[in-house]
Amino acid sequence: MRKTISIEETLYHQLSDEGLLSEYSSFSQLVNEALNRRLNEYRAERYRAEIDAMRQDPMVLDDISEIEEAFAMSDWEHDAL
């Protein structure tokens, strides 16, 4: 897919001065990698937020307690070995 983007001239010069542009076969490759990284960061942030919300959800905490109780004897038997 082709998309046209605009970036600040100073940013482009900074990328060039630092040698980042020469590490990629094209500017598109650099943009693709940067966007993929940002997408992965976003997904990880969202996942952490969902886990944090679950840690405070009374229904989830009740489920965890029930599971721990159900396997308490099994855990005790395993630890005794």
Q: Is residue 14 part of a domain?
A: no
Predicted local confidence at residue 72, as pLDDT: 82
Q: For residue 64, tell me if it sits in a domain.
A: yes
> pLDDT tens string for the chain (81 positions)?
899 999 999 999 999 999 999 999 999 999 999 999 999 999 999 999 999 999 999 999 999 999 998 888 776 656 655
Instruction: Please report whether residue 42 resides in a domain.
Output: yes
1 domain-assigned: no
* Domain limits for position 46: 27-80
CA dihedral 21, 24, 26, 28 (to 10 degrees): -90
8 in any annotated domain: no
Cβ-Cβ contacts under 8 Å for 20 (sequence gap 6 or more): 30
Q: Total structural domains in the chain?
A: 1
Predicted pLDDT at 71: 86
Q: What is this structure's pTM?
A: 0.67
What pLDDT is stored for residue 73 in this prediction?
78
Residue 63, domain member (yes or no): yes
* pLDDT recorded at residue 81: 55
